[in-house]
Structure 1
């Protein structure tokens, strides 16, 4: 329809004449009609009359309840729709709406916080949804790609239009939605909603100092959906180009809840629905942009939407759940108080079950590199290397859920998961490490490694590193100087032979070029055994020392000692329980940093991201030697659920490029820690690789005397600033840094800032 034809139709059917101006639109043809006395919006649409009538009836219903929405004009026949015949296609429909005065929300200056406006936005949308609660229409029951109830499906269909990095960003939100919202959809109330409170549909009272919403236009996406989706959409657009997205969301929620109170399930799901709306917007626009690359209207909100999505990704979902509940006056799910839990632990559990910190924390949720207490406060977790790819990683959780719902049994039945995961895991190892055994913990893996070494060599004697720790079974305690030489220990058993800890900073030999000296001491121990007509069956060593003090052994150490052990016919065991799966950044396995290939490798902790699983990887020759006639069977080792989870961990490591990320973040941390060391002499040594770092604190740099009391004070100081750290080393003076691998520069900066504050305010303490 040309403007001349449109002007003629308006004159004949509505008695309106004036100047027409084209307005932007997504699917409709929109015009501004200016007459001598008024202005109107004219819309020409090919949409079905049923859905246009839905919009007309809804606007009329809301207008009658004094809401600031357009009024639909009737034509000379008393109808709100006028048919426009077309020779080239289906007939179109013409509508005329009153023009609402005001400025677009999109045009306000967003550099300033506007809590009054945010709250009024929520109030307006809450009032609108309350007014629509007694409204119904047959046209509202329709399928639309902008329906947030279908958002997860829509994004999965359209993600291919995005780049690989954009897909990763979207996928993390979809996984969170699947984990936290999908199971609760049945709890969310439904009704007719406007469904598109974007910043070009909302009007404000003025641009200079906007305080209130003055109107809402464009009812083209109306449908029946979950009522909370209305609020989620409003929040999604309100946070565009805002620095403090949490403040915006909470203000909008406060206003909305005052008019339409949220149910608990709605409050809990809202944060994830806001993220989903941004994802839907970006996926829908990506497809539309490919089809219409010159349509600027489609491009207009993509840039700030990506920015808002990135900011949401930095926010803890559970923390926001708690804050949203507080704003709505809903009770937070706190469970038992800490005092009663402590009392029950003391009464019913062993007194050896320790707690961290003088004032213990109650932790109820984890997400990424963060833990959350019962109040929703976030704590940056810098010590938990168990949840390797991040606490409760949605991809890992979903893999376990899917398989758990299908089958979980033992390895006496054939199943794809066992061989698929085994092949994927073994592909990360060098030859000849090509046989794996699955178990349930790092302790069990080391225990099995000792059995295998004994079968391969016929010897029981074991070489262990002073100060090392390998697990909590009897055999592992016997192999752990950290335990048998520590409180309650009974010293080394007769078959256990300690070698000096290769500790370049404060050990027996100091400096970078000390590998040969430490290796010579090991040769001395071996020669002593030979003099007694005894030979070692195995040498076990962490690829980087953990509890001994986060120590990187001098370059070449393992090459020399492996050579010595193998000359005697012994086997070399690499304990990768703490440092494996790319934590060192430069390689997948810690032993690769020493350019060696062990005979047996033990894996634990990170392998299942917190799920109880572990593995032993070895050579065919040692695996064959273990075949003695005694069956090896493990009820849970290698079960389908564990294998599905292990596979998901490997997938996340690859998809999110966490190994190279560990290298980058680790280098960043060491660079800035070195700068702090130049300012504060108590930082004696900074060591480690990737996200396995140690900061050794000393009270006297010249004597390297350990600053044990200062380290303990700093750990409590960090905790008071919601950063979780602990100490290692025989003198407990080493800050150990081994966070989940999703720990990035933002988290590093938070730690560095608080560390500097702590160093500047640390009191003089006697050790």
Structure 2
């Protein structure tokens, strides 16, 4: 970079005047301008006409300079009114590029361009929303025009091409001396890898300007009424993803702003109205904006180390770091979802609200036909027009057109769909070893200790299985070994799985369609429902009143001379309607069960792992410690695994001489994935988020309840919430209205479903990364949906 200093000296104003007179027959005053690579000079001739003279670096390929001239010639021949672009001025010998030899004998190239008048975007003091919209319109018209342009040099490798952001950031972020800033760049890199790279094949490509920054964009004047009129400097042109054009412009437009999203939305919507964006482009936009800023600070760090006296290199570094800090506070996936709604709903009108792709297609019909032919007919699908879902990211599912749906019902992908840490843990272990528990391996020990550390001290032994159904099967065997009895108390409406034994203990199944009723050793006790049941409210008195029914069932068994085996209960009722039991219920029940030698089993398959927000396990909210706990669903974030946790005493009773071996239970891959889930819950503070976001949602729902009588009850803990819809004070279930609301939500790209004995309860149990912005969108759509029902 010492070379830069000598170049400036060599091309002094007097030397530049000589070159201009020699090659262009122009007598002019000369003013040096800043530049990243080229030497730039403003010329003013004797009549006051201005020009820009550019002397290229000796390293700059001639083909790239030719491309710059070619694109300016091309665009000036297009209908890009009212925008002004530089025009290429030929030398007296008729050439657009004039070779020069510097004092070291190296070739440099001289070019003269017309001057584009105006006020730089960065220097305008009264920028408003209409300027951002104008910027979006300019970008789109530029990209549409450039679709007809090609040049061999456009396919070059270029550090500033966002296609290469990953490698550029990885190679240069070590040059960032501030460790906190380096961590920020690492976070941007992670988002780029997760949210951009998988979609690259679906991003349209073309030649782009690649540097519509606030020093290359011109406005007509400095007033509030100024218009975006001009664009200069085509030196960064490259063939890349067209969405990068928008991302780069947004990255510079938000510098110094306290409201980056307002600017991004204005620019994006205006761009979309001229050049429609597809679902993938909108989904990746924010992480691309962040990546551009990260590339900028990485390249600046490299350049500053080499040339600490070049002040131009520092121009955007400080505001870029401020913008990075601001963007990292946003959830990029929620922003992508919002941008899709902002832009794509415009195509359908405000009355429909649905996004592109949310329609029946030949592919839908073909898949349904093949399912009917090849799969069991007992497999159901959701919605009148079923969705084709091809990707999952965070709290969103994406369809075949990369249109995102806010997933509010999938408690299986607990820490978020395809969480990169969980995926990486599974991939790494799968590539190393997967076998069974007959071989010694540290994975099962590390994971079992980490899992048991979340439980009360007495629950100190764990067995790994493959599903919640299998976990509940094993719990039944443990109960029998400990008590020598199969007599079991179950809660009405409960669901514990899909195997024969699990169905046998699930009133939801054996008393439902196709069921055969309760077996002789299964005894149903009423659901402790503080809203619809006979004892209202969450008081300890209500809890004890419901527990009395359990005591009566136990007394009946004693009268019949039967030994109670145990009592099983979901710690929060799931299919029963997302019901939270009254205070003191489980405490009274457990005392009664243990008094006659029974064991207490807590089914945490749906509600464990911090979903309640206040505790790791939902049974803890009742102040009890079970004898057996069954786990499933969220334990592996979608990977098929489950577990049974119990006391040493019950585990010892299971040692009867019959070996228990599970081929896949506790395998190294499952254990690596399970450990990653626990680590992610801690690292990402997901329990805190469940409490904070869930509490916020319940407050919003209660406020909405004041307006809509159809909302009979709002209940829940953390991110396990039920909204029961009723028609009147008699609690007549609003089942049809609830079904209509589910379809309404789907048309608004929200995925929800119903539970409860009357299928009238909105069951809300989203991935734990669900946030307040997601809540706001859900509440907004619920308000509109309920208003339509009222109408």
TM-score scaled by structure 2? 0.79
Counterpart of 1:298?
Answer: 317
Partner of residue 217 from structure 1, selected from 204, 220, 233:
233
Counterpart of 1:754?
Answer: 781
Is residue 174 of structure 1 aligned with residue 193 of structure 2? yes
Judged with a 3 Å threshold, the aligned counterparts in structure 2 of structure 1 residues 73 and 304 are, in CA distance, closer, same or farther, namely farther
Judged with a 3 Å threshold, the aligned counterparts in structure 2 of structure 1 residues 242 and 283 are, in CA distance, closer, same or farther, namely closer
Q: Deviations over 1:60-115 (max 9, x none)?
A: 44455565456488899995456368xxxx99989665353044455594502877
- Other structure's SS at 2:726 match: strand
Is residue 650 of structure 1 aligned with residue 678 of structure 2? yes
Give me the whole-angstrom Cα distance separating, in 2, the residues matched to 1:5 and 1:340. Answer: 70
Equivalences, count: 736
Give me the whole-angstrom Cα distance separating, in 2, the residues matched to 1:399 and 1:322. Answer: 36
Partner of residue 620 from structure 2, selected from 583, 592, 607:
592
Judged with a 3 Å threshold, the aligned counterparts in structure 2 of structure 1 residues 60 and 504 are, in CA distance, closer, same or farther, namely closer
Q: Deviations over 1:458-494 (max 9, x none)?
A: 3322222222111111111111122222233222222
Judged with a 3 Å threshold, the aligned counterparts in structure 2 of structure 1 residues 168 and 502 are, in CA distance, closer, same or farther, namely farther
Give me the whole-angstrom Cα distance separating, in 2, the residues matched to 1:568 and 1:304. Answer: 65
Partner of residue 6 from structure 1, selected from 9, 12, 15:
12
Is the 8 Å Cα contact of residues 120 and 211 (structure 1) preserved in structure 2?
no
Give me the whole-angstrom Cα distance separating, in 1, the residues matched to 2:431 and 2:117. Answer: 54
Judged with a 3 Å threshold, the aligned counterparts in structure 2 of structure 1 residues 664 and 317 are, in CA distance, closer, same or farther, namely closer
Give runs of aligned pairs for residues 47-86 of structure 1, distance below 5 A: 49-51=58-60, 53=62, 55-63=64-72, 65=74, 67=76, 68-69=85-86, 71=88, 80-81=99-100, 83=102
Judged with a 3 Å threshold, the aligned counterparts in structure 2 of structure 1 residues 377 and 494 are, in CA distance, closer, same or farther, namely same
Give runs of aligned pairs for residues 624-643 of structure 1, distance below 5 A: 624-643=652-671
Counterpart of 2:529?
Answer: 503
Judged with a 3 Å threshold, the aligned counterparts in structure 2 of structure 1 residues 128 and 340 are, in CA distance, closer, same or farther, namely closer
Judged with a 3 Å threshold, the aligned counterparts in structure 2 of structure 1 residues 74 and 444 are, in CA distance, closer, same or farther, namely farther
Q: Deviations over 1:117-172 (max 9, x none)?
A: 645534434655754423479xx556x3x332331234456395438678656633
Give runs of aligned pairs for residues 255-266 of structure 1, distance below 5 A: none
Tell me the CA shift for residue 443 of structure 1: 0.8
Give me the whole-angstrom Cα distance separating, in 1, the residues matched to 2:182 and 2:248. Answer: 27
Counterpart of 1:583?
Answer: 611
Is the 8 Å Cα contact of residues 23 and 32 (structure 1) preserved in structure 2?
yes
Counterpart of 1:534?
Answer: 562
Counterpart of 2:113?
Answer: 98
Is the 8 Å Cα contact of residues 127 and 256 (structure 1) preserved in structure 2?
no
TM-score scaled by structure 1? 0.82
User: Larger deviation: 274-283 or 233-242?
Assistant: 233-242
Give me the whole-angstrom Cα distance separating, in 2, the residues matched to 1:635 and 1:72. Answer: 77
Give runs of aligned pairs for residues 539-688 of structure 1, distance below 5 A: 539-688=567-716
Q: Deviations over 1:514-571 (max 9, x none)?
A: 2222233323322332333332222211111111121111222222322333333332
Give me the whole-angstrom Cα distance separating, in 2, the residues matched to 1:612 and 1:510. Answer: 38
Is residue 198 of structure 1 aligned with residue 207 of structure 2? no
User: Larger deviation: 100-109 or 719-728?
Assistant: 100-109
Partner of residue 149 from structure 1, selected from 151, 163, 166:
163
Is residue 732 of structure 1 aligned with residue 759 of structure 2? yes
Is residue 313 of structure 1 aligned with residue 333 of structure 2? yes
Gaps of at least 5 residues in structure 2 are 77-84, 255-259, 348-355
Is the 8 Å Cα contact of residues 493 and 506 (structure 2) preserved in structure 1?
yes
Is residue 743 of structure 1 aligned with residue 770 of structure 2? yes
User: Larger deviation: 380-389 or 661-670?
Assistant: 380-389
Is the 8 Å Cα contact of residues 42 and 94 (structure 1) preserved in structure 2?
no
Judged with a 3 Å threshold, the aligned counterparts in structure 2 of structure 1 residues 626 and 109 are, in CA distance, closer, same or farther, namely same
Partner of residue 519 from structure 1, selected from 547, 560, 581:
547
Counterpart of 2:80?
Answer: none
Is the 8 Å Cα contact of residues 231 and 256 (structure 1) preserved in structure 2?
no
- Other structure's SS at 2:655 match: coil
Is the 8 Å Cα contact of residues 694 and 734 (structure 1) preserved in structure 2?
yes
- Other structure's SS at 1:437 match: strand
Counterpart of 2:79?
Answer: none
Judged with a 3 Å threshold, the aligned counterparts in structure 2 of structure 1 residues 416 and 222 are, in CA distance, closer, same or farther, namely farther
Give me the whole-angstrom Cα distance separating, in 1, the residues matched to 2:90 and 2:460. Answer: 77
Tell me the CA shift for residue 640 of structure 1: 3.6
Partner of residue 134 from structure 1, selected from 142, 152, 173:
152
RMSD of aligned residue pairs (Cα, Å): 4.4
Give me the whole-angstrom Cα distance separating, in 1, the residues matched to 2:274 and 2:727. Answer: 55
Is the 8 Å Cα contact of residues 502 and 518 (structure 1) preserved in structure 2?
yes
User: Larger deviation: 271-280 or 658-667?
Assistant: 271-280
Judged with a 3 Å threshold, the aligned counterparts in structure 2 of structure 1 residues 642 and 72 are, in CA distance, closer, same or farther, namely farther
Give me the whole-angstrom Cα distance separating, in 2, the residues matched to 1:39 and 1:603. Answer: 75
Tell me the CA shift for residue 497 of structure 1: 2.2
Q: Deviations over 1:616-665 (max 9, x none)?
A: 22233333333333232222323344334333433433343222111112
Partner of residue 384 from structure 1, selected from 410, 427, 442:
410
Judged with a 3 Å threshold, the aligned counterparts in structure 2 of structure 1 residues 431 and 40 are, in CA distance, closer, same or farther, namely farther
Give me the whole-angstrom Cα distance separating, in 1, the residues matched to 2:441 and 2:625. Answer: 30
- Other structure's SS at 2:60 match: helix
Give me the whole-angstrom Cα distance separating, in 2, the residues matched to 1:5 and 1:134. Answer: 31
Give me the whole-angstrom Cα distance separating, in 2, the residues matched to 1:318 and 1:91. Answer: 52
Give me the whole-angstrom Cα distance separating, in 2, the residues matched to 1:415 and 1:400. Answer: 16
Judged with a 3 Å threshold, the aligned counterparts in structure 2 of structure 1 residues 217 and 567 are, in CA distance, closer, same or farther, namely same
Is the 8 Å Cα contact of residues 605 and 630 (structure 2) preserved in structure 1?
yes
User: Larger deviation: 705-714 or 23-32?
Assistant: 23-32
Tell me the CA shift for residue 302 of structure 1: 5.3
Is residue 477 of structure 1 aligned with residue 477 of structure 2? no
Give me the whole-angstrom Cα distance separating, in 2, the residues matched to 1:759 and 1:129. Answer: 46
Is the 8 Å Cα contact of residues 519 and 557 (structure 1) preserved in structure 2?
yes
Q: Deviations over 1:342-366 (max 9, x none)?
A: 4444444444333334454444444
Is the 8 Å Cα contact of residues 202 and 217 (structure 1) preserved in structure 2?
no
Give me the whole-angstrom Cα distance separating, in 1, the residues matched to 2:787 and 2:357. Answer: 39
Judged with a 3 Å threshold, the aligned counterparts in structure 2 of structure 1 residues 383 and 269 are, in CA distance, closer, same or farther, namely closer
Give me the whole-angstrom Cα distance separating, in 1, the residues matched to 2:379 and 2:370. Answer: 12
Judged with a 3 Å threshold, the aligned counterparts in structure 2 of structure 1 residues 60 and 705 are, in CA distance, closer, same or farther, namely closer
- Other structure's SS at 2:712 match: strand
Give runs of aligned pairs for residues 245-284 of structure 1, distance below 5 A: 248-249=267-268, 252=271, 270-271=281-282, 274-284=285-295
Give me the whole-angstrom Cα distance separating, in 2, the residues matched to 1:678 and 1:599. Answer: 42
Judged with a 3 Å threshold, the aligned counterparts in structure 2 of structure 1 residues 653 and 95 are, in CA distance, closer, same or farther, namely farther
Judged with a 3 Å threshold, the aligned counterparts in structure 2 of structure 1 residues 188 and 128 are, in CA distance, closer, same or farther, namely closer
